[in-house]
Amino acid sequence: MSKQEENIGIDLTPANDEAYFCPTCGGAAVDFSALTEEAHCKICSWKGSRAELAVFRFSHTLGDQAQTCEQLFMDMRQLLGKHFSAPFAAFLGKWGFLDIPTTKSAQEKARKHLARYIGHCAGAFIRSIIEVRHQIEKEEHSLGN
């Protein structure tokens, strides 16, 4: 790991990975079992074996799946913290979800609570993005695009 990688806490060593796609519609919303090798598509309802899935092999520097998910979450959390925290804190305060701090210790407590709200929002946003992406794939498949 280079000094720059150590400073940012991310291992940028290239990793080999695979993406799986439905052999019928080309959708990426496929599930498969490592135990039974059964597979199915959430877009077109295709069912078959994992061996029938189209496989795209690629290299990236995002780490394993857990590291990739963590980086996605951290990027979303950073985006929300940078551009969303002030108006969100005002919203939460207005509606009684966040106390308006009057002392230094209360400010620190409010900051921690706001960070917690933003972290949960980041996770919910990512889940929503993935869900909408699946909906878009389904719609495009049903329209024949």
1-51, pLDDT tens digit by residue? 444 444 445 455 566 778 899 999 998 889 998 888 899 999 998 999 999
Let me know the angle formed at the C-alpha of 48 by 46 and 54, rounded to the nearest 5 degrees: 80
* pLDDT given for residue 91 in this prediction: 96
Q: What is the pTM of this model?
A: 0.68
**CA-to-CA distance for 134 and 127, rounded, in angstroms?**
11
| Cα 126 from chain centre | 4
* pLDDT given for residue 4 in this prediction: 42
Task: Establish how many alpha carbons lie within 13 A of residue 116's alpha carbon, considering only the half-sphere containing its beta carbon.
Answer: 9
